[in-house]
Amino acid sequence: MECVGAEDPKKLMLYSYWRSSCAWRVRIALNLKEYLKLNPFGCVPVLVDGDIVIADSLAIILYLEEKYPQNPLLPQDLQVKPVNYQAAKIGANMQPYQNMPIIAYIKEKLGQEKMLAWIHHHANNAFDALENLLRTYPGMYATGDEAFLADLFLAPQIHSAVSRFNFDLSKYDRLLKLFEAYKEHPAFQKAIPENQPDAPTT
């Protein structure tokens, strides 16, 4: 989807699909960078900035981190920074198991009940790893009291698991706290699929 108002060559050109978790994580990054105050028509996962075209969510996020250094998405602490990369990787690895074409294929082959069991199995594997990784990091967000890269990758997958696939987070104390924190953060709420201009109205 080409975003309205992107004809100004000095502005970023952004493309999106409302339900895509890859686009979702980049929308959070843009909101945290407060880019949408300058360009309220932004939606992603393909970013065009002049002659630069970037089509991968992590590449887009790291590009935004370099170009817009305000509200950093990576901590300076060298112990905490790699944890953000690890958590982001786990979140990215979850995404295919919540991807519509893959889910549709599994549902066609196995039926609704087994499809949900398959999704829950892979979510449990990822959430077990995340709970272990993040349990020693207190604070509102994944690695402390500021939202960083890990949160951008975790928020879409946690939200989708709960809202789309009825996943029970109750045994994951740390992730449940993150889920509640994301609900309260304006940048995260503006990025959720239901709030996107191309989201279905019914």
- In tens digits, the chain (202 residues) has pLDDT values of 333 333 444 566 666 667 777 788 888 888 887 655 544 444 446 787 888 878 788 988 999 999 999 999 999 999 999 999 999 999 999 988 988 889 999 999 999 999 999 999 999 999 999 999 999 998 999 999 999 999 999 999 999 999 999 999 999 999 999 999 999 999 999 999 998 888 888 6
The burial of 99, by beta-carbon neighbours within 10 Å (0-12 exposed, 13-18 middle, 19 or more buried), is given as middle
Amino acid letter at 129? A
- How far is 132 from 66, CA to CA, in rounded Å? 30
For residues 179 and 25, the answer to whether their CB atoms sit within 8 Å is: no
For residues 152 and 25, the answer to whether their CB atoms sit within 8 Å is: yes
Confidence (pLDDT) at 197: 85
Confidence (pLDDT) at 38: 44
Confidence (pLDDT) at 185: 96
Q: Is the dihedral of CA 78, 75, 133, 156 positive or negative?
A: negative
Confidence (pLDDT) at 10: 55
- How far is 56 from 165, CA to CA, in rounded Å? 25
pTM score above 0.95 = no
- How far is 105 from 123, CA to CA, in rounded Å? 18
Confidence (pLDDT) at 8: 46
Confidence (pLDDT) at 14: 60
The 3-class SS string of the chain reads CECCCCCCCCCCEEEECCCCHHHHHHHHHHHHCCHHHCCCCCCCEEEEECCEEECCHHHHHHHHHHHCCCCCCCCCCCCCHHHHHHHHHHHHHHHHHHCHHHHHHHHHHHCHHHHHHHHHHHHHHHHHHHHHHHCCCCCCECCECCCCHHHHHHHHHHHHHHHCCCCCCCCCHHHHHHHHHHHHCHHHHHHCHHHCCCCCCC
Beta pairing, strands 45-49 & 13-16: antiparallel
Confidence (pLDDT) at 1: 32
